[in-house]
Amino acid sequence: MQSFYLPTKIIFGEQALQEVIRDKKRAFIVTDRFMHDTGKVDYVTTALNGSGAVYEIFSDVKPDPDITIISKGVEKLLTFCPDIVIAFGGGSPIDAAKSVLYFAKKQTDLGDLPLVAIPTTSGTGSEVSRFAVVTDAEKAVKYLLVDDALIADYAVLDPTLLTSLPAKVTADTGIDVFTHAIEAFVSKGHSDFSDALAEKSVRLVYRYLLKAYKEPENLFYRTRMHNASCLAGAAFSNAGLGINHSMAHALGARFHISHGRANGILLPYVMSYNAGYTTQLTKTAERYAKISRLLELESTSILQSVLNVIRTTLRFLKELEMPTSIKELGISEEEFERVLPELAETAIADHCTATNPEPVTVENIMTIYRQAWLGKWW
């Protein structure tokens, strides 16, 4: 049985946040230190001050939030007793807020305590997904939480929050969107409904990612990418992902690589494997060929169409000044080979592997990792 579930109310335009916080008296804000120290969180606090609400800011979130941070957040939330939780920032603060509220509700009855997600990057789609990633810093492992209870009640999309993003963050998060949309489109769990969202997201990224990267203050381009991120988030929340994310979770946790960057590096090699590009073309190759058609890159053969999608991804990476291989990150072959078996085992056990469109073994994962280290997908 399949289903499609999108309970999040997506709000955009002027006064969006004011509409959400109306009549709320106690707000628990989850963000990171950068957003707090630079005053960017004033976007939220100014609105709360205007409505007469009191608030507490939990700004201890770090990239790839770990179990300790989540536990501390749970304690502070339960002590403060809010009537609304607001996540403000990129994927890490939003995932942290979702996790904090999720575990807090397991400790006590919080009723219908709403969660508002306000993304300040166009990448994770976490504002509408049923996923959250939590890191075990001691084991250098990322755990994927998957539950409908993690879905935010409201998502506030405001492109004005994106204009000051560093170019590197725009690149990393933009490629993350592209990966989300592609994996959702080819996933075993895809449906006509998730396809519609993924297709639109792919087209938006193809048209506007490089433009947003080169003209960061252009609100039209930023809006398109913000919408693409949200659409892809809703698509993969329902359809699932695949080994690209499984492998990126393991690689990123081990070598402290941003999630979007890890996804981008791996994407050409994972697509080549899933399509059977170097062996025998699979049914999944036909799905990649459809993506090629969406982007008006289609050729007369499925093989060439798959190649066009892979080449487009590589072109994106190069024009965004991102690495196209793991070794470009400065990771030696000796160090990589030493942890490779563990990376592969971790990836194969990841929740995302279950919806990969093609069967995969630990040996397959190791081969893809090696190709990604070398930068040779053919």
DSSP string, 140-156: TEEEEEE-GGGS-SEEE
What does the pLDDT look like over 194-218, one tens digit per residue?
A: 999 999 999 999 999 999 999 999 9
149 versus 143: the higher-pLDDT residue is: 149
Q: Is the pLDDT of residue 259 over 90?
A: yes
Closest to 149 in 3D by CA, of 131, 172, 165: 131
Q: Given this model, what pLDDT does residue 1 score?
A: 72
Amino acid in position 122: S
Place of tokens 């800011």: 57
pLDDT at 56: 98
In the prediction, which pLDDT does 266 show?
A: 98
According to DSSP, the β-strands at 141-146 and 84-89 are unpaired
Distance between CA 86 and CA 109 in Å, rounded?
A: 19
In the chain the domains, ranked by start, together with CATH numbers, are 9-161 (3.40.50.1970), 167-374 (1.20.1090.10)
Residue 132 has φ and ψ, to the nearest 5°, of -150, 140
pLDDT tens-digit readout, 340-353? 999 999 999 999 99
Each residue of 4-54: pLDDT tens digit? Answer: 999 999 998 767 898 899 899 999 999 999 999 999 999 999 999 999 999
pLDDT of residue 7: 94
φ, ψ at 136 (rounded to 5°): -100, 100
The pair of three-digit structure tokens given for residue 138, joined into one six-digit string:
């001691």
Sheet of strand 115-119, all strands in order from the earlier edge strand to the far edge: 9-12, 154-157, 115-119, 84-89, 26-32, 54-61
Share of the chain above pLDDT 70, in %: 100
In a 3-state reduction of DSSP, which class is residue 353? Answer: helix
pLDDT in tens, 76-117: 999 999 999 999 999 999 999 999 999 999 999 999 999 999
Of 79, 96, 78, the C-alpha closest to 87 is 96
Angle (CA) 202-294-227 rounded to 5° is 25
Q: How far is CA 211 from the centre of its chain?
A: 20
d(CA 253, CA 271): 22
The more confident residue out of 137 and 96 is 96
* Residues 214 and 261: beta-carbon distance below 8 Å: no
| Alpha-carbon dihedral angle through residues 73, 79, 81, 84, given to the nearest 10 degrees | -20
How many residues does the structure list for the chain?
A: 378
Look at residue 13 in the predicted model and tell me its pLDDT: 73
As a dihedral over the C-alpha atoms of residue 142, residue 41, residue 223, residue 170, rounded to 10 degrees, the angle is -50
Task: Report the range of poorest mean pLDDT among 178-187, 234-243, 292-301.
Answer: 292-301
Q: Output the pLDDT for position 14.
A: 67
In angstroms, the CA 89 to CA 158 distance is: 12
User: What pLDDT is attached to residue 142?
Assistant: 81
The residues near 23 (Cβ < 8 Å, ≥ 6 apart) are none
Provide the mean pLDDT of the chain.
94
Name the pTM for this structure: 0.94
Q: Evaluate if residue 187 carries a pLDDT over 70.
A: yes
Query: Which DSSP category does 8 fall into?
Result: P
